[in-house]
Amino acid sequence: MEDMVSRIMLKPKSASPHCRHCSAELDLPFADLGETPIANDFIAAEDLHCIEPRYPLRAFVCRNCRLVQLEDFVRADSVFRADYAYQSSMSSSWLAHAQHYVEDMIEALKLGSHSRVIEIASNDGYLLQYFKVAGIPVTGIEPAASVAKIAREQRGIPTIETFFGENEALNLRETIGPADLIAANNVLAHVPDINDFVAGFRILLKPNGIATFEFPHLLNLMKLGQFDTIYHEHFSYLSLTALERIFRKAGLRVFDAKELPTHGGSLRLFVCPSEAALAETDALKGIRGKEKKASLDTDAPYLAFAEKPRSTKTALLALLGSLKAKGKTIAAYGAPAKGNTLLNYCGIGTDIIDFTVDRAPSKQGRFLPGSHIPIYGPEAIAARKPDFVLILPWNLVSEITNDLAFIRTWGGRFILPMPSPHLLEEAFYAN
Ligand SMILES: [Zn+2]
């Protein structure tokens, strides 16, 4: 409750928002998703009667540097609370992705017991555990106490509980020394002060060290209409166009890039100090070309995107409404942040979705913020046999349809909300 009170006191920083990178005024809207609660604020049963704070969820694009960003509204310290529920190791496909990354980097950089690997936002140690097994010294940096504790106590990963930025980088350089590799997977978008964060990498890298950044690619968000990936914890929506400028200002340079299937289409950027002798790769030039072709350096594609949330909402409500009209029961799968944006923007609650399930014990027994849909353990699907299951973490569709293949025994079917709401074809999960 203390948190709720402090949040009600929060106000926007200024009447007209400014770019978090270049300070230009933000007046070009990208998506207006109304007012929603914080996406990871799961509610305990005893708090269901409390007033739930809601905040504007509005994204803009900067006309000057093309950084797509949320209007500055919620403080980082109130988003990443001690009971912050997301745990990276809960997804088996994400673990496999992490393991591949570790194998690739050990090989490419010839990492060994003489090296130092640091991960920013190291969560529960899901990634560093694989470097540790290979005998490479690791340090995790993680502001959320609950997952940092799991990393230390269950995986033996040295983890420092702090946010990362210039000051922390200076401290770390003194205490543990500079790094051969700094990994930053799915954290760049979550950082409120992107300039301070990126500057820390320049300080903490060895002259020949590299940093890798993974983030959902804005180009895919736009092409596939993934507006549900917009939520309060996610301050920036990143393109190579915007990031090359941000890194340059910090004395860093992108030299390679790779497209990844994770999170509906991500980029991994390989970054080095500006003066390091690493040549630009053709892969990087290719992605630059794709963004140029999509005109990400102009206003037009951002203005066109603004209509997408409205059309998805209309289509999803029509689909779910037609099923309810036939007396069908509908459950959801998962309790990801993106699911809360989707449900709250579309105004979907327990009138349409009976319950959702999630593998994370920290979420079970609680309720989704805003929609107040109850969250059970995965066994509830088999016990209650819903006619339809709406998959909220659509980026994990293969894993989920595989795990829940048994719903076909009672004629159950899956619904996917993105890129536009649809029933999964029988053929998709028949093999
Ligand atoms: Zn800007």
Q: Which tens digit of pLDDT belongs to each residue from 366-387?
A: 999 999 999 999 999 999 999 9
Q: Calculate how far, in angstroms, residue 258's C-alpha sits from the geometric centre of ligand 1.
A: 25
CB 162 within 8 A of CB 141: yes
Q: Is residue 14 in some structural domain?
A: no
Q: Calculate how far, in angstroms, residue 247's C-alpha sits from the geometric centre of ligand 1.
A: 13
pLDDT at 263: 75
Residues 267 and 318 in one domain: no
Q: Is residue 170 in some structural domain?
A: yes
Q: Is residue 173 in some structural domain?
A: yes
Residues 274 and 321 in one domain: no
Residues 234 and 358 in one domain: no
Q: Calculate how far, in angstroms, residue 253's C-alpha sits from the geometric centre of ligand 1.
A: 18
CB 61 within 8 A of CB 48: no
Q: Calculate how far, in angstroms, residue 334's C-alpha sits from the geometric centre of ligand 1.
A: 35
Cα 185 → chain centroid: 9
Q: Calculate how far, in angstroms, residue 321's C-alpha sits from the geometric centre of ligand 1.
A: 41
Q: Is residue 208 in some structural domain?
A: yes
Q: Please count the CA atoms within 13 angstroms of the CA of 22 that sit on its side-chain side.
A: 18
Residues 232 and 365 in one domain: no
Sign of CA dihedral 397, 398, 404, 405: positive
Dist. CA 191–CA 132, nearest whole Å: 26
Q: Calculate how far, in angstroms, residue 79's C-alpha sits from the geometric centre of ligand 1.
A: 24
In angstroms, the Cα distances linking 296 to 27, 33, 122, 196 are 17, 22, 31, 25
pLDDT band at residue 1 under the 50/70/90 scheme:
very low
Q: Calculate how far, in angstroms, residue 22's C-alpha sits from the geometric centre of ligand 1.
A: 4
Residues 262 and 339 in one domain: no
Q: Is residue 9 in some structural domain?
A: no
**Domains: count for the chain:** 2
Q: What CATH number is given to the structural domain containing 145?
A: 3.40.50.150
Q: Is residue 13 in some structural domain?
A: no
Categorise residue 23: left if φ over 0, alpha if ψ from -120 to 50, beta otherwise. left
Q: Calculate how far, in angstroms, residue 60's C-alpha sits from the geometric centre of ligand 1.
A: 10
Give mean pLDDT, residues 266-270. 97
Residues 392 and 352 in one domain: yes
Residue where a domain terminates, one of 280, 297, 330: 280
Give CA torsion, residues 234, 214, 358, 364, to 10 deg: -60
Q: Calculate how far, in angstroms, residue 252's C-alpha sits from the geometric centre of ligand 1.
A: 18
Q: Calculate how far, in angstroms, residue 242's C-alpha sits from the geometric centre of ligand 1.
A: 8
Q: How many CB atoms lie within 10 A of CB 238?
A: 25
In percent, how much of the chain has pLDDT > 90?
A: 78
Q: Calculate how far, in angstroms, residue 30's C-alpha sits from the geometric centre of ligand 1.
A: 14
Residues 6+ away with beta carbon under 8 Å from 187: 120, 121
Q: How many CB atoms lie within 10 A of CB 421?
A: 21
Residues 260 and 360 in one domain: no
Residues 165 and 267 in one domain: yes
Statement: residue 8 has pLDDT above 50:
no
Q: What CATH number is given to the structural domain containing 407?
A: 3.40.50.720
Statement: residue 286 has pLDDT above 60:
yes
Q: Calculate how far, in angstroms, residue 302's C-alpha sits from the geometric centre of ligand 1.
A: 14
Q: Calculate how far, in angstroms, residue 24's C-alpha sits from the geometric centre of ligand 1.
A: 5
Q: Calculate how far, in angstroms, residue 282's C-alpha sits from the geometric centre of ligand 1.
A: 27
Query: Residue 137 is encoded by which pair of tokens?
Result: 């010294």
Q: Is residue 164 in some structural domain?
A: yes
Residues 320 and 270 in one domain: no
What DSSP element (H or E) covers 241? Answer: helix 240-249
pLDDT band at residue 125 under the 50/70/90 scheme:
very high
Q: Calculate how far, in angstroms, residue 69's C-alpha sits from the geometric centre of ligand 1.
A: 9
Edge-to-edge strand ranges of the sheet holding 422-423: 375-376, 356-357, 330-333, 388-391, 413-416, 422-423
Residues 213 and 353 in one domain: no
Q: Calculate how far, in angstroms, residue 430's C-alpha sits from the geometric centre of ligand 1.
A: 47
pLDDT at 395: 87
Q: Calculate how far, in angstroms, residue 87's C-alpha sits from the geometric centre of ligand 1.
A: 32
Q: Calculate how far, in angstroms, residue 213's C-alpha sits from the geometric centre of ligand 1.
A: 20
Q: Calculate how far, in angstroms, residue 196's C-alpha sits from the geometric centre of ligand 1.
A: 15
pLDDT at 409: 96
Domain limits for position 264: 88-280
Q: Calculate how far, in angstroms, residue 64's C-alpha sits from the geometric centre of ligand 1.
A: 5
Q: Which tens digit of pLDDT belongs to each residue from 166-179?
A: 999 999 999 999 99
Residues 270 and 369 in one domain: no
Residues 267 and 332 in one domain: no
The three-class DSSP label of residue 341 is helix
Give mean pLDDT, residues 84-91. 62
Q: Which tens digit of pLDDT belongs to each residue from 34-86?
A: 999 988 889 999 999 988 888 889 999 999 999 999 987 655 445 544 445 46
Q: Is residue 150 in some structural domain?
A: yes
Q: Calculate how far, in angstroms, residue 189's C-alpha sits from the geometric centre of ligand 1.
A: 15
pLDDT at 426: 64
Q: Calculate how far, in angstroms, residue 67's C-alpha sits from the geometric centre of ligand 1.
A: 6
